[in-house]
Amino acid sequence: MTHPLYIGRFAPSPTGPLHIGSLIGALASFLDAKASNGRWLVRMENIDPPREIAGADRRILDTLHHHGLCWDGDVLEQSTRSAAYESALAHLLDTGQAFRCSCSRRQLSQFDGIHRGHCVTPEKTDDCAIRLRVPDHIWHAHDDLQQPLHQNLQQEVGDFILKRRDGYYAYQLAVVVDDGYQGITHVVRGSDLWVSTPRQRYLQSLLGLPAPRYLHFPVIVGTDGHKLSKQTFAAPVENSRAIDNLLLALHFLNQPLPDSRHSIDSLLLAAIKHWDRQRLPAVMGQPESAFYNHGEPLLP
């Protein structure tokens, strides 16, 4: 089998049902993959049980299905990937790139909360976090939509956590290991994660993983000006309004709106055909309120 040139993914965390912001992310990554004849994978990022909501994973998949967003292959569950994360951690610890840290938040507050290699390595104990040591030089990240990001990881981020003190794996580690494992070539996701990309690029380089191409589209914000999130109970999208929801998402992504609206499949086929990355808005965080009037979608 030839290796596809494009493997994209949507990677929701099951911390609640999909809202319009996350549907926009699913649709953008789906259309970008399908317009390139690529594969589109779904990965359930269920590595943080304290933040998860029972049944949210099934509900998210059900919503994708009702909106015609059918994924290729099986859903990868991060909860099954501990062995891969442990092996990456072992490599980083063995090579001295990662270290055990028992600094408390209070201790770190003396350093603006940024860890810059100043803790005393504790005795071998499980009651500690594992952090990645980061270099004091500028790391560059490139994006197909955003301006390049130049970040000094040590000054701006600090030695970041790979495994938490409570034993759970950190997003930064899991996302890098799994993007590599699944052969992801293109990451299309919300701009709230753009600032994480230099950390992910650095980890990829240490683990010998190829860098995907990135495209970060602007996230939709709520009436309070903050990113819509499941934790702040943004309204779930209703499956019974799938066509309206897809039209709103296309409108936000500034894509041409298909005339064929009689079925989800015909709408998506037209959206794939006319998908145009050049039209994506680069820096706007359009408020959710621009889409709704008293809870009713303002259809374009």
Place of tokens 């309204």: 235
Of the candidate residues 35, 93, 193, 264, the single one contacting ligand GLU (CB under 6 A): 193
Considering only residues 93-152, where is the footprint of ligand GLU by CB under 6 A? none
Nearest to ligand GLU of 111, 233 (CB atom): 233
Taking the complex as a whole, how short is the minimal distance between the CB of residue 189 and ligand GLU, in angstroms? 4
- Is the distance from CB of 9 to CB of 74 less than 8 angstroms? no
Taking the complex as a whole, how short is the minimal distance between the CB of residue 179 and ligand GLU, in angstroms? 8
- Is the distance from CB of 25 to CB of 56 less than 8 angstroms? no
> Pairing mode, if any, of strands 39-44 and 129-132?
unpaired
Query: Which is it for the CA torsion 198, 200, 206, 212, positive or negative?
Result: negative
The two tokens of residue 189 are 């996701």
Nearest to ligand GLU of 29, 154 (CB atom): 29
- Contact flag: residue 12 with ligand GLU (CB under 6 A): yes
Collapse the DSSP code of 291 into the 3-class scheme (helix H, G, I; strand E, B; otherwise coil) and give the result: coil
- Contact flag: residue 159 with ligand GLU (CB under 6 A): no
Alpha helices in the chain (DSSP H): 20-35, 56-66, 82-94, 105-109, 171-181, 197-207, 242-252, 264-274
How many C-beta neighbours within 10 Å does residue 293 have?
9
Nearest to ligand GLU of 153, 175 (CB atom): 175
- The DSSP bridge partners found for residue 14 are none
Taking the complex as a whole, how short is the minimal distance between the CB of residue 196 and ligand GLU, in angstroms? 7
Place of tokens 């309070």: 224
Query: Which is it for the CA torsion 257, 215, 55, 231, positive or negative?
Result: negative
- Is the distance from CB of 58 to CB of 269 less than 8 angstroms? no
Nearest to ligand GLU of 193, 284 (CB atom): 193
Of the candidate residues 189, 199, 201, 216, the single one contacting ligand GLU (CB under 6 A): 189
- Contact flag: residue 172 with ligand GLU (CB under 6 A): no
- Contact flag: residue 61 with ligand GLU (CB under 6 A): no
- Contact flag: residue 45 with ligand GLU (CB under 6 A): yes
Q: With CB under 6 A as the contact rule, which of the stretches 8-16, 212-220, 266-274, 285-293 interacts with ligand GLU?
A: 8-16
- Contact flag: residue 13 with ligand GLU (CB under 6 A): yes
Taking the complex as a whole, how short is the minimal distance between the CB of residue 25 and ligand GLU, in angstroms? 7
Of the candidate residues 61, 92, 101, 175, the single one contacting ligand GLU (CB under 6 A): 175
Place of tokens 């569950």: 77
Collapse the DSSP code of 77 into the 3-class scheme (helix H, G, I; strand E, B; otherwise coil) and give the result: strand
The two tokens of residue 256 are 């041409």
- Contact flag: residue 11 with ligand GLU (CB under 6 A): yes
Taking the complex as a whole, how short is the minimal distance between the CB of residue 13 and ligand GLU, in angstroms? 4
Number of residues in contact with ligand GLU, rule: CB under 6 A?
7
Contact footprint for ligand GLU (CB under 6 A): 11-13, 45, 175, 189, 193
